[in-house]
Homo-oligomer: A and B are copies of this chain.
Amino acid sequence: MQKADFVEWLREGTISIPAALLTEYKNMHLSEQELVLLLQVLHFSEKGNDFPTPTELSGRMAMSAFDCTEILRSLIQKGFIEIIDGDSTDGIRFEKYSLDPLWDKLIDRFMQNRKQEKVNARQVEES
Residues on A close to B: CB < 8 A?
1-3, 5-20, 22-23, 25-26, 30-33, 35-36, 39-40, 43, 46, 48, 59-63, 100, 103-104, 107-108, 110-111, 114
Contact = CB atoms under 8 A, between A and B. Distances in A.
A18 B11 CA distance: 11
Given A16-B13, A18-B10, A36-B32, A62 B26 contact: yes
Given A12-B20, A22-B39, A35-B36, 5 more contacts: A1-B6, A5-B110, A10-B18, A14-B17, A32-B63
This chain's copy number in the assembly: 4
B60 A9 contact: no
Most interface-central of A32, A39, A111 (chain B CB within 10 A): A32
